[in-house]
């Protein structure tokens, strides 16, 4: 995990939860499908939401799981 290089070990879990929360707020259930249809590639979608690629990937997986589209 990259957080271990930047944060103290006891703060890694908090930082991970914060990143997940921010990705949900920035790429919400209305904006995420719009961006996935509008932009041509993953980098453009990540830039649109100002998210790192890893955070966007995790957010897309959460979205698919939440909406029931990932079975």
Domain edges within the chain: 28-71
User: What are the pLDDT digits (tens) for 15-33?
Assistant: 777 777 888 888 999 999 9
Let me know: does 15 contact 7? Beta carbons within 8 Å.
yes
Q: pTM for this one?
A: 0.72
Please state, in angstroms and rounded to a whole number, the distance separating the CA atoms of residues 28 and 11: 25
Continuous segment of H or E residues that includes residue 3: helix 3-6
What's the mean per-residue pLDDT of the chain? Answer: 84
7 pLDDT band (50/70/90 cuts)?
low
């Amino acid at each position: 995990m990259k957080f271990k290089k930047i944060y103290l070990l006891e703060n890694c879990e908090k930082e991970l939860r914060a990143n997940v929360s921010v990705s949900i707020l920035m790429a919400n259930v209305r904006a995420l499908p719009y961006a996935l249809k509008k932009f041509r590639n993953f980098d453009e979608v990540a830039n649109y939401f100002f998210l790192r690629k890893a955070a966007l990937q995790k957010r897309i997986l959460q979205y698919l799981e939440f909406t029931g589209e990932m079975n």
